[in-house]
Amino acid sequence: MIKTLVRVGVLVLAIAIIALALYGIVGKPSLARLYNQNEIGRFQPTFGHGIGQFLGETFLVAIVAFIARKWLGVRL
């Protein structure tokens, strides 16, 4: 149990380091750079678009894995 907690702690620390580095690079979110589009409206789910995007993303991950395996010889 303690081992698991230590490991979770290490992971949280790693996440915190990455987050801090990102904040250092991009900066704090600012109103001067406010994005004004309605994202909730833009991503209103529609069946056709939704299925299309889901299958598209699945295909993309599969094609990368296939090319890496078949032609680039990515393996252990």
CB 68 within 8 A of CB 74: yes
Q: Which residues contact 68 (CB under 8 A, 6 or more apart)?
A: 74
The amino acid that residue 45 corresponds to is P
Does position 19 bind another protein by CB under 8 A? yes
Residues in 20-49 that interact with another protein by CB under 8 A: 22, 26-27, 29-31, 33-35, 39-40, 43-46, 49
Query: Could you give the CA distance from residue 39 to residue 45 in angstroms, rounded to a whole number?
Result: 12
Binding site for another protein (CB under 8 A): 4, 7-8, 11, 14-15, 18-19, 22, 26-27, 29-31, 33-35, 39-40, 43-46, 49-54, 56-58, 60-66, 68-69, 72, 74-76
